[in-house]
Structure 1
Amino acid sequence: MSSQVIKNTENLLQPILEEKNLELVDVEYVKEGKNWFLRVYIDKEGGIDIAECGEVSEQLSEKLDETDPVTDAYFLEVSSPGVERPLKTEADFEKNLNKNVFVKLYEPIDGAKEYEGTLKDFTNNSASIEYKVKTRRKVVEIPFNKIAKARIAVTL
């Protein structure tokens, strides 16, 4: 059911975002406690502001009311993905070369299921991440289909 809500929401969002030259980063439909949340993350080159999120929220809300794809009561949230933006698609990886990333895997590679390091390359559906083990630098090749979750990682 939640995958259908997400798909319907993405379909309603696409024309709104195209008109405003915005990018859809992610849609989540999750239950937290007793409440359902429909969360939409949008962005654009140079970042997005609260006014743009508000406009998209209003337009999407109207479309959702018209088509009523969600049977449960829910809260709609439209926001920026933030500095730790998720990396969902191959294009996301290609656009974020040389950035620090955190990757969680479905199954271990070289004995680990999580890696944090610099995304050095993304070719042939595989991410090359350079990471440190004590004072040594190592590179791990991670096939895209083995990645459960990935995001930009902020280092302080």
Structure 2
Amino acid sequence: MLKDESMKKLWNLGYKAVEAAGFELIDMEFVKESGNWYLRYYIDKPGGITIDDCQTVSVEVGRLLDIADLIPCSYILEVSSPGLERPIKTDKDFLRYIGSFVEIKTFEKIGDKKVFTGILEDYSNNTVTVKNGECYLIPKEKISSAKLKFKWDGDRK
């Protein structure tokens, strides 16, 4: 619905508001679900995000969106934590989460697999190393999605 230029403006607007509040902008999406458009900003900080943090950012982003008037239709603004299984997108993210349990999906098979779960062992030269018994070297350009993967320690009742 929105052109790349408008999406970049929405990202920059959110980035400024989120950084000014002392948080990090992790991701942004503008999607249609059940007949409604949603503009979602995912934010984070060391120690995690609270509801009050989301409210603070939502008020400021909402104010800036009203001024900029970039979206030509009605939409719902949401500001949220990226959650336990947050996406890993940037070089900084891959480096930050070395040693973490991850799930990497690729556009095409590498060996006989398209989904790799295990410990993120390394990230260098645009190649991700995931270890789960075997070591898998995955070129970043072949990654369709990457996220932290929460590992359950047995049943919780």
Q: TM-score range by the shorter chain?
A: over 0.9
Kept in 2, the 8 Å contact 1:5–1:29? The answer is: no
Percent sequence identity over aligned pairs: 39
State the match for 1:134 in structure 2: none
Matches within 5 A, 1:70-149: 70-131=71-132, 137-149=133-145
Kept in 2, the 8 Å contact 1:6–1:27? The answer is: no
Q: Please list every run of 5 or more consecutive structure 1 residues that lacks an aligned counterpart in the other structure.
A: 132-136
Shift of 1:15: 2.2
Shift of 1:53: 0.7
**Aligned-CA RMSD value:** 1.1
Local SS of the residue matching 1:58: helix
- Tell me the distance in 2 between the aligned counterparts of 1:36 and 1:2: 15
Shift of 1:5: 3.9
Shift of 1:27: 0.1
- Tell me the distance in 1 between the aligned counterparts of 2:137 and 2:3: 32
Shift of 1:21: 1.8
Aligned length: 151
State the match for 1:30 in structure 2: 31
Paired amino acid for 2:146: A
State the match for 2:40 in structure 1: 39
Paired amino acid for 2:7: I
Q: Please list every run of 5 or more consecutive structure 2 residues that lacks an aligned counterpart in the other structure.
A: 153-157
Shift of 1:2: 5.3
